[in-house]
Amino acid sequence: MASRKTQILAIDAGGTMTDTFIIDDMGEFVVGKAQTTPGDESVGLLHSAVDALSFWGMTVEEAFPQLLTGVYSGTAMLNRLVSRKGRKVGLIVNKGMEDFHRMGRAIQSYLGYSYSDRLHINTHRYDPPLVPREWTRGVTERIDLFGNIVIPLYEHEVEPAVRELVDEGVEAIVISLLHSYKNPTHERRVRDIAKATLRKLKRDLPVFASVDYYPVRKESHRTNTTIIEAYAADPSRRTLELVDERMKEQGAKFDVRVMATHGGTISIRANELARTLVSGPIGGVVGGKYLGEALGIQNIVCSDIGGTSFDIALITQGDFTIDTSPDMARLVLSLPLVAMDSVGAGTGSFVRVDPYTKSIVLGPDSAGYRVGGCYPEGGLDTITVSDCHVVLGLINPDNFLGGQIKLDRERAYQSVKEQLADPLGLSVEAASYGVIELLEAQLRNYLESLVMGKGYSPTQFACFSYGGGGPLHTAGYVRGLGFEDVLVPAWAAGFSAFGCGAADFEYRYDRTLDINVGANATQKEQVEAAGILQEAWNELTEKVQQEFEKNGFQSKDVQLRMYFRMQYQGQLNDLEIEAPLATATTADDWKVLTMTFEETYARVYARAARSPELGYTVTGAIVRGSVEVPKPKIPEEPYYGETPPKEAHRGIREVYWDGEWIQADIWEMEALKAGNRIEAFSIIESPATTFIVPLGFEAVLDQHRIFHLRELD
């Protein structure tokens, strides 16, 4: 019975399990799981889709042809990188600089560590380099930071270097020379000689020049990223092609796209594939932006609690911020990444008592899929936040993940007693409640400091809360912050997947520039500055259009948006700003750009902090191009009324809250109707998430199946 209109397929291929989310036109979704098949990921993917569709009684043959779009995100590339199982890559750098890659940046020795470990030098460690010293060769040349040729390229050194690397058995060659983003002639020349040498040797190795991929400042970042392109990304392309082919065999009528770090999706044929390395948590932010656009909300705090971490991202004036030198897999990179802040606190965080201070310590490590002591099959001894949920009656041990996993309340109770309550001299319930309070206080402080630290106030923002664990704690972490509105989509657990499906088909290319224009610049200088920026935009536009051509889009279909990064001369931080112009050629155009910068600066910092007397520096040009693709529909339902239907009420459960046992109403999330007002104390359950409406709050479900959580005065 193919009664559902399947819309969107989002695939999350993890290291052990492949999850598929299939969303229908009502925003309802099913999740399927199957073992990942590392040899050919498309096999596991299909099993997973079959599993998902079985909940709707549909088959792949029925569902796939109806799908409008499909987005893939996976960890195969990341695993290849982290486990150092990539291609054998040779590296050509400046002579005398052969050690910089293996020395790395000091920060790489503690990336991904908790705060206490960052301070604890003994824990620091340099991972083995992606390219060892013996596969690195130097060639003589030097371009200075202004792009001047200081030492010409010693062309005769290139061929022997390439020959030696080929003899070493490398499978790809990466070239990264100092300041090549500023003047690419030498690096391109090395690339061409390398290619010619390989032809002479009759060897078909790919050659990656950093300037063709990431023409941006910062040597370590640029080199790391280009190496990843050769080491892990390019070898993963075949995996993606197989996924695409297999889906088309099943009747899919779209090209599979991959979620990329800049918040858009790109084709599997994209030149720069390294930016699909990490995409999981970005999905939610993209979804937040999309939902915000649909609902007319400009400023949003996106908050996501999963099992392991609490992730926050800000959307201001309808757009997220981009971090241009993020880190992933303990490497500093030159990829544009949707800026996000994370703390290691989630529902799976371990709970311990500090043996010296006798205080409760949460995380930073977590149980992940092993849940906690309440899940005997997980084989864990240390208790987690989830165990406290079970003790307090906040989650239903028989309906966790829709009853797929049975939790053992008695075991949770005993573990909390032994590990937490007895050492602290508290009752089991009081100790568990203390854990929840501590977690929520930590999240609340973190959320507040993040918003305030960026110069905003929570009252200017709406807060979106999603993720499997988000709605459990939403009330706790927004309490007292005064958000304009707090929104919990009924599909909170699948929100990241929804976001992947909602992402634009978009390419974004960046280039570093150094255009300095003084406060009293002449008209001629302003025209020149505009010209250099325009030239960079032209170059990047061409790159974007070439990418779309690979999927058969013509340049007229591509919607282009020009961005620039600007700062006051001598200041350290630049701002990324969308240009209000399609082209910049005249002195007036230049003035429009600086005016836009002044406005943004005043908004981000303070009006009084503006300093036009310093003059301006343009540090980068960015072009974003997108084409129309189908997006998931936001559900729309007729208004039903304030009183929830009787059949939605699933009974009453005892819940321990703030020192006493109280009666909580249990509601079935799927059965609630638009307009329903849910009063405290209520627990709204759905297979993949639990939403709590504690004392002092009420929740109203709107016509888009989004709950609005209100704090009562």
Partner 1 sequence: MAEYDRATIEELIDGTIDFFKLKEMLSSFKDPGRFDTYIEVLQDRVKWQDRILLPYGLHLYVVQKTDGKRMIKCDCGHEFCDANDNWKLHALVYVRDTEDRVQELYPEYLAPDPKWQVIREYYCPTCATQLEVEAVTPWYPVIHDFQPDIDGFYKEWLGRPVPDPAG
Binding site for partner 1 (CB under 8 A): 114, 116-117, 120, 122-123, 125, 352, 354-355
Provide the token pair at 530. 């505009």
Minimum CB distance to partner 1, residue 116 (Å): 7
Minimum CB distance to partner 1, residue 125 (Å): 6
Minimum CB distance to partner 1, residue 357 (Å): 10
Q: Which of 185, 342 has the CB closer to partner 1?
A: 342
Helices and strands of the chain, counted as H and E runs: 19, 35
Q: Give 190's contacts (C-beta < 8 A, 6+ positions apart).
A: 92, 139, 141, 153, 158, 175, 177, 209
Q: Which of 122, 663 has the CB closer to partner 1?
A: 122
Tell me the residue ranges of DSSP E strands in 282-379.
300-305, 310-316, 319-320, 322-323, 327-328, 331-332, 337-338, 341-343, 349-353, 360-366
Q: Which of 213, 350 has the CB closer to partner 1?
A: 350
Q: Which of 123, 523 has the CB closer to partner 1?
A: 123
Minimum CB distance to partner 1, residue 567 (Å): 38
Q: Which of 361, 532 has the CB closer to partner 1?
A: 361
Q: Which of 113, 640 has the CB closer to partner 1?
A: 113
Minimum CB distance to partner 1, residue 363 (Å): 11
Minimum CB distance to partner 1, residue 126 (Å): 11
Alpha helices in 230-314 (DSSP H): 234-249, 282-295
Cα distances from 623 to residues 210, 248, 578, in angstroms, run 18, 31, 9
Q: Which of 116, 520 has the CB closer to partner 1?
A: 116
CA 253 to CA 504: how far, in whole Å? 18
Please count the other Cβ atoms lying within 10 Å of the Cβ belonging to residue 66. 18
Helix (H, G, I), strand (E, B) or coil at 148: coil
Q: Which of 114, 342 has the CB closer to partner 1?
A: 114
Minimum CB distance to partner 1, residue 591 (Å): 54
Nearest to 66 by CA among 18, 19, 24: 24
CA 20 to CA 82: how far, in whole Å? 24
Minimum CB distance to partner 1, residue 122 (Å): 6
Q: Which of 120, 550 has the CB closer to partner 1?
A: 120
Minimum CB distance to partner 1, residue 556 (Å): 54
Q: Which of 120, 203 has the CB closer to partner 1?
A: 120
CA 158 to CA 531: how far, in whole Å? 35
Minimum CB distance to partner 1, residue 407 (Å): 23
Minimum CB distance to partner 1, residue 309 (Å): 17
| Beta bridge mates, 654 | 663
Helix (H, G, I), strand (E, B) or coil at 586: coil
Nearest to 285 by CA among 326, 319, 258: 319
Minimum CB distance to partner 1, residue 183 (Å): 35
CA 72 to CA 487: how far, in whole Å? 27
End-to-end CA distance of the chain: 49
Q: Which of 100, 126 has the CB closer to partner 1?
A: 126
Minimum CB distance to partner 1, residue 455 (Å): 34
Q: Which of 121, 608 has the CB closer to partner 1?
A: 121
Exposure class string for 354-367: b at 16+ Cβ within 10 A, else e: eeeeeebebbbebb
Minimum CB distance to partner 1, residue 353 (Å): 9
CA 229 to CA 227: how far, in whole Å? 5
CA 620 to CA 512: how far, in whole Å? 4
Q: Which of 85, 120 has the CB closer to partner 1?
A: 120
Q: Which of 373, 489 has the CB closer to partner 1?
A: 373
DSSP assigned state of 533 = H
Minimum CB distance to partner 1, residue 437 (Å): 22
Per-residue HEC secondary structure of 599-656 comes to HHHHHHCCHHHCCHHHCEEEEEEEEEEEECCCCCCCCCCCCCCCCCCHHHEEEEEEEE
| C-alpha dihedral sign at 571, 340, 315, 282 | positive
Q: Are 419 and 383 in contact (CB under 8 A)?
A: yes
Q: Which of 126, 254 has the CB closer to partner 1?
A: 126
Q: Give 56's contacts (C-beta < 8 A, 6+ positions apart).
A: 3, 4, 22, 24, 30, 63
Nearest to 310 by CA among 87, 63, 62, 478: 478
